[in-house]
C-alpha cells in the first residue's frame, strides 16, 4: 500500500519551519536559513534529511543539545582559510555563513577552505557545495558524523557515514552535484528493514563479530549497545570490491573536518542524552576562471553531462543519470506541484505546530 | 606454485630505469624523476604500476606516443593556480614539476591547485600527493584515464578508472595516504582472471548488455572492440550498494582533471596505435598551519591512526589497517631486503637492457 502523500509549496513549508525555529530562540535570519536548508532536502528528493527531522531539531533546541543562543566564533583566519567554533549551534546557519565566507575569500585568493567544529547535523552537504555554483566556482562540503561505520577487516564502529559533496556548474544543464555518504548506505536504510522485520541486502553491514549480516534489527541493537557491528564502507566487506577505498574516503572526510578544525574525530563523535555529536564540517570553493574561461568550462560540462545521459542503458533499465540530475528533476516537479510529504510526517508537523503555537502549514 | 622472486635494491633499479629513459631521449633530470616514480610503485607494493610497465614506456617513447622532447608549457597561471599543457610528454616528470609548483604556490597562498593536460600515464597518484607531506601540507593528486568504467544503469564505458590520492602527515606514524581508483577494481585485476581462464568475482564488471558478468575473457574482448561492457564503479552494480557514488567520484575526478584543464574527457580518452590516451591530471596542496598548529594536527593524526589500527579485527582477520600503512610497511621491508621483482619482470628488464645497451640491473 502506498502511503498517502500531501503536497505543500516550498514557501509554506519554509515559513512554517522558520516560525518553529524562531519560537525556539533562533534569530530570524538563522531560523530562515535553517528552514531553507531543511526544506531543500525534501525539494531535492532526500526526505531522510528533510522536515521529517524537524522533531529532532525541536528536541535538540528544547533540551539545549543544540544551543539556540550559541555565538559561533572564528578561531583562526587567513586570506584563504577560516576555522569556526560553532559553540554547539545548529549546523545549518553556521555552515551557510562559513561557506559564504569561504566563497568571499576564494573570490580574492582563487581558492579557499573553511572548517567548523562543535557543530550539529547540517542537513544535506550538497546545499553548501551548491552555494558556489552561481559564482562560477567549484563547491565542496563535508561533515563527520557519529561513528556508525566499521573499517575493513574490523568489527567496531570507528568513523561516521561522513558525507562529501562536490558541485560543478554547467550551462544548459544545471550542474553536476555529487552528494554521498562514504558508507555503503546510511543508517536510515537499515532502520527501514528493521521496522519491516525484513532481511536487508548483504553487503551493507557486519555483525558484532565483523561477519556480514542481513539482520537489521539485531544490528541496530548491537550498534546502540556498542558491542560491535556497524555499517560497511562504500565498496562493502573486505577488499575484494574496494571496501578499503570507502573506508579511506570516510577517514579522509574526518581528517578534513575534524583534524583540520581541532574537533573530536572517530569514536569520540557520538550522540548521548547529555551531549550532541559535536560534529565538524569542511567547506571549499575554487574559482574556475583561474584555470580556464568559465563559459568554456560550463559548455564542456554540458557536453560531458549529455554524453553521460545518452549512455545506452543496461538491459531492463530506462535511463542513465548523472549525479544531481534526479534531484534537479525532483525540484522542478516540486515547483509545479508542491513538495511531497508523507502523511505521518505532515501529522508530526501539525503536532509541532500545536505544541509551539505556530500556525500550521 | 609461487613465482620466483628476485630482489634488487631501490637504487640499482632506479639507476637502470633512469639509464633506459636517458637512452630514449629524456633529459637526465626527467629520466631520474620518471625512474623514481616508477620504482616507488614497486617499493610501495603496487607492482602493477611499477617497473613491470617499463616496456610500455619504452614502446611509447620509441613510437613517439610519448614525446621525449616535449616541452610542457604553462597556459594559465595565478598565485594559487597553474594549468600546464604537457605536449604529449611522459606523465611523471611533468607531474612532479607541477606538484612542486603547486606546493610553492600554496606556501604563499595557503592552498593551490594545478592541472595538466595532454599528458600520459603518471604512475601512482599517491607519489605526488605525498610530496606535500614534508611541507606540513595536505596533498591531493588525481588523473583521468582511458575510458573503462560503465555508469550506473548503463552498458557502455564512459569514464576511466580515475584514481584519486589524498595524503595527510602524521607524527610518529608516517602519514595517512589514500590512493585508489574510483572503479571497483582496475582492469589489471580482470586480466589476471582472463589469463587463468577463471571466473572473476561478481560485482566487478557488466557485459555488453549491462548485466553483471564473471566472464573475464569475454569482457576484455568486448571492451577492446568497444561493443559494450566494462568495469563497475566503486560500489558495484545499480544503486543498492552505492555504485552511483563510485560513478559520481569517477566523474568528479574527470571534472577536476580534464574540465579544469581543457583536456579530453569521458569517452574521448582512449589509447589507439596513433595517439596516447592524452590524459589530464589534478594536483592540490593545502597548508595545515592556516587552520591549526601542524604539530597538534600531526599528533591528532597519530591518535586517529592508532585508534584505527587498534580496532578489534573481524572473526578470521588478523589486523585492521589504515590507508597507506601496508605500503609503508612494504617500503620498510624493501629497504632491508631489496625490491621484489617477479622473475618474468626481471627477464623483461634484462631484455630492455640488451636492446638499448644499458648495463643490466
Q: How confident is the model at residue B273 (pLDDT cuts 50, 70, 90)?
A: low
DSSP A5-28: EEEE-HHHHHHHHHHHHHHTT--H
The predicted structure's pLDDT at residue B274: 65
CA dist., res. B11 & res. B48, Å (int): 20
Residue B182: what are its φ and ψ, rounded to 5°? Answer: -95, 0
Residue A329 lies in a domain: no
**Pair type for strands B205-206 and B175-180:** unpaired
Q: Is the pLDDT of residue B204 over 90?
A: yes
Instruction: Tell me, yes or no, whether A76 and A44 share the same domain.
Output: no
Candidate from A348-352, B222-226, B312-316 with smallest mean pLDDT: B222-226
Contact (CB, 8 A) for B243 and B259? no
Sheet strand arrangement including A212-213: A212-213, A205-206, A230-231
* Helix or strand run (H / E) with residue A34: helix A28-43
Q: How many CB atoms lie within 10 A of CB B197?
A: 8
pLDDT tens across B68-124, in order?
999 999 999 999 999 999 999 999 999 999 999 999 999 999 999 999 999 999 999
Q: How many A/B residue pairs have CB atoms within 8 Å?
A: 287
Instruction: Tell me, yes or no, whether B152 and B261 share the same domain.
Output: yes
Interface test with B, best of A106, A149, A150, A235 (most B CBs within 10 A): A235
CATH number at residue A217: 3.30.60.50
> Which grid coordinates are listed for B261?
584543464
Q: Nearest CA to CA, how far is A31 from chain B (Å)?
A: 29
Chain B residues with CB-CB distance to A291 below 8 A: 76, 81, 83, 113, 115, 260-261
What pairs with residue B313 in β-bridges?
Answer: A154
Contact (CB, 8 A) for A317 and B151? no
- Contacts for B221 with CB less than 8 Å, ≥ 6 apart: none
Residue A142 lies in a domain: yes
Q: Characterize B229-239 residue by residue with b for buried, 16 or more Cβ atoms within 10 angstroms of its Cβ, and e for exposed.
A: bbbbbbbbbbe
Instruction: Tell me, yes or no, whether A282 and A343 share the same domain.
Output: no
Q: Is the pLDDT of residue B1 over 50?
A: no
Query: Averaged over B190-219, what is the pLDDT?
Result: 95
CB contact under 8 A, B323 and A241: no
Residue B158: what are its φ and ψ, rounded to 5°? Answer: -135, -10
> Which grid coordinates are listed for A281?
564540517
CB contact under 8 A, A211 and B112: no
The predicted structure's pLDDT at residue B321: 98
CB contact under 8 A, B242 and A256: no
CA dist., res. B205 & res. B192, Å (int): 14
CA dist., res. A344 & res. A327, Å (int): 23
Chain A residues with CB-CB distance to B286 below 8 A: 113
Chain B residues with CB-CB distance to A322 below 8 A: 151, 251
DSSP A115-163: EEEEE---S-HHHHHHTTGGGTEEEEEEE--SS-B--TTB-S--B----
Report the residue from B110, B241, B297 with minimal CB separation from A80: B110
Point out the domain boundary residue: A231, A261, A291: A231
Interface test with B, best of A126, A213, A248, A326 (most B CBs within 10 A): A248
Instruction: Tell me, yes or no, whether A174 and A280 share the same domain.
Output: yes
Chain B residues with CB-CB distance to A153 below 8 A: 313-314, 317-321
> Which grid coordinates are listed for B245?
557514488
Point out the domain boundary residue: A170, A204, A231: A231
Instruction: Tell me, yes or no, whether A5 and A146 share the same domain.
Output: no
Q: Characterize A8-46 residue by residue with b for buried, 16 or more Cβ atoms within 10 angstroms of its Cβ, and e for exposed.
A: bebeebbbbbbbbbbbbebeeebbbbbbbbbbbbbbbbb
CA dist., res. A260 & res. A282, Å (int): 8
Residue B298 lies in a domain: no
Minimal CA–CA distance to A288: which of B281, B266, B81, B118? B81
Q: How confident is the model at residue B271 (pLDDT cuts 50, 70, 90)?
A: confident
CB contact under 8 A, B184 and A255: no
Contact (CB, 8 A) for A266 and A150? no
CB contact under 8 A, A266 and B308: yes
Contact (CB, 8 A) for A166 and A294? no
The predicted structure's pLDDT at residue A188: 87
CB contact under 8 A, A300 and B265: yes
Q: How far from A291 is each of A234, B4, B80, B110, CA to CA, in Å?
A: 32, 49, 10, 17
Mean pLDDT of chain B: 95
Point out the domain boundary residue: B194, B211, B231: B231
CA dist., res. A201 & res. B165, Å (int): 30
Instruction: Tell me, yes or no, whether B145 and B26 share the same domain.
Output: yes
Query: Averaged over B257-270, what is the pLDDT?
Result: 96
Give the helix ranges, DSSP H, for A255-317: 294-309
Q: Using alpha carbons only, how large is chain B's radius of gyration in Å?
A: 20
User: Taking CA atoms, what residue in A is nearest to B177?
Assistant: A248
Chain B residues with CB-CB distance to A208 below 8 A: none
CA dist., res. B87 & res. B119, Å (int): 7
Q: How far from B59 is each of A197, B172, B278, CA to CA, in Å?
A: 60, 42, 16
User: Taking CA atoms, what residue in B is nearest to A178?
Assistant: B248
Residue B124 lies in a domain: yes
Instruction: Tell me, yes or no, whether A260 and A354 share the same domain.
Output: no
CA dist., res. B352 & res. B185, Å (int): 29
- Contacts for B289 with CB less than 8 Å, ≥ 6 apart: B136
Report the residue from A83, A166, A304 with minimal CB separation from B291: A83
Instruction: Tell me, yes or no, whether B122 and B250 share the same domain.
Output: yes
Chain A residues with CB-CB distance to B242 below 8 A: 180, 184-185, 234-235, 246
The predicted structure's pLDDT at residue A176: 98
Residue B173 lies in a domain: yes
**Pair type for strands B205-206 and B230-231:** antiparallel
Residue A307: what are its φ and ψ, rounded to 5°? Answer: -60, -45
Contact (CB, 8 A) for A115 and A257? yes
The predicted structure's pLDDT at residue A342: 94
The predicted structure's pLDDT at residue B270: 85
CATH number at residue B271: 3.30.1370.60
Residue B313 lies in a domain: no
Report the residue from A111, A314, A320 with minimal CB separation from B211: A314
CA dist., res. B138 & res. B173, Å (int): 15
Q: Nearest CA to CA, how far is B66 from chain A (Å)?
A: 25
Instruction: Tell me, yes or no, whether B12 and B113 share the same domain.
Output: yes
**Pair type for strands B137-143 and B175-180:** unpaired
Q: Where are the beta strands (DSSP E) in chain B?
A: 5-8, 73-78, 81-85, 111-119, 137-143, 164-169, 175-180, 205-206, 212-213, 230-231, 279-287, 339-342
Residue B325 lies in a domain: no
pLDDT tens across A186-209, in order?
988 999 899 999 999 999 999 999
User: Does the predicted model carry a pTM greater than 0.90?
Assistant: yes
Which regions in chain A score pLDDT beneath 70?
1-3, 273-276
Instruction: Tell me, yes or no, whether B51 and B171 share the same domain.
Output: yes
Instruction: Tell me, yes or no, whether B196 and B168 share the same domain.
Output: no
Number of domains in chain A: 3
Q: Using alpha carbons only, how large is chain A's radius of gyration in Å?
A: 20
User: Taking CA atoms, what residue in A is nearest to B253?
Assistant: A166
> Which grid coordinates are listed for B146?
582511458
**pLDDT > 70 in chain A, percent:** 98
Structural domain of residue A105, as residue ranges?
69-181+241-309
CA dist., res. B3 & res. B8, Å (int): 16
Residue A314 lies in a domain: no
CA dist., res. B13 & res. A292, Å (int): 40
CA dist., res. B65 & res. B269, Å (int): 14
CA dist., res. B72 & res. B338, Å (int): 34
The predicted structure's pLDDT at residue A273: 67
Contact (CB, 8 A) for B57 and B66? yes
Instruction: Tell me, yes or no, whether B119 and B96 share the same domain.
Output: yes
The predicted structure's pLDDT at residue A124: 97
Residue B219: what are its φ and ψ, rounded to 5°? Answer: -60, -50
CA dist., res. A106 & res. A81, Å (int): 9
CA dist., res. B233 & res. A322, Å (int): 13
Amino acid at each position: 500500500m502506498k502511503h498517502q502523500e500531501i503536497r505543500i509549496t516550498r514557501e509554506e513549508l519554509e515559513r512554517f519551519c522558520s516560525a518553529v525555529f524562531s519560537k525556539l530562540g533562533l534569530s530570524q535570519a538563522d531560523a530562515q536559513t535553517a528552514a531553507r536548508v531543511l526544506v531543500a532536502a525534501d525539494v531535492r528528493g532526500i526526505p531522510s534529511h528533510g522536515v521529517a527531522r524537524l522533531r529532532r531539531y525541536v528536541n535538540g533546541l528544547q533540551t539545549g543539545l543544540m544551543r539556540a543562543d550559541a555565538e559561533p566564533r572564528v578561531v583562526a583566519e587567513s586570506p584563504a582559510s577560516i576555522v569556526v567554533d560553532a559553540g554547539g549551534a545548529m549546523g545549518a546557519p553556521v555552515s551557510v555563513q562559513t561557506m559564504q565566507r569561504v566563497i568571499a575569500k576564494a573570490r580574492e585568493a582563487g581558492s579557499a577552505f573553511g572548517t567548523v567544529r562543535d557543530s550539529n547535523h547540517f542537513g544535506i552537504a550538497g546545499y553548501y557545495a551548491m552555494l558556489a555554483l552561481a559564482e562560477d566556482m567549484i563547491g565542496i562540503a563535508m561533515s563527520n558524523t557519529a561513528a556508525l561505520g566499521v573499517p575493513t577487516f574490523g568489527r567496531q564502529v570507528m568513523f561516521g557515514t561522513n558525507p562529501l559533496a562536490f558541485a560543478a556548474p554547467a550551462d544548459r544543464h544545471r550542474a553536476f552535484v555529487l552528494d554521498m555518504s562514504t558508507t555503503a548506505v546510511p543508517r536510515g536504510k537499515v532502520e527501514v528493514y528493521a521496522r519491516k522485520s525484513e532481511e536487508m541486502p548483504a553487503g551493507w553491514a557486519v555483525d558484532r563479530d565483523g561477519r556480514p549480516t542481513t539482520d537489521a534489527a539485531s544490528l541496530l541493537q548491537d550498534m546502540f549497545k556498542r558491542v560491535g557491528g556497524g555499517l560497511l564502507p562504500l565498496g562493502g566487506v573486505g577488499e575484494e570490491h574496494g571496501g578499503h577505498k570507502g573506508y579511506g574516503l570516510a577517514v579522509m572526510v574526518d581528517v578534513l573536518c575534524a583534524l583540520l578544525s581541532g574537533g573530536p574525530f572517530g569514536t569520540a563523535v557520538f550522540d548521548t542524552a547529555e551531549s550532541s555529536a559535536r560534529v565538524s564540517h569542511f567547506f571549499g570553493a575554487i574559482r574556475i576562471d583561474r584555470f580556464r574561461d568559465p563559459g568554456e568550462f560550463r559548455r564542456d560540462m554540458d557536453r560531458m553531462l549529455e554524453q553521460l545521459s545518452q549512455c545506452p542503458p543496461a538491459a531492463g533499465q530506462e535511463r542513465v543519470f548523472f549525479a544531481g540530475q534526479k534531484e534537479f528533476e525532483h525540484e522542478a516537479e516540486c515547483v509545479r506541484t508542491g513538495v511531497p510529504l508523507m502523511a505521518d510526517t505532515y501529522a508530526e508537523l501539525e503536532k509541532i505546530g500545536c505544541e509551539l503555537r505556530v500556525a500550521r502549514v
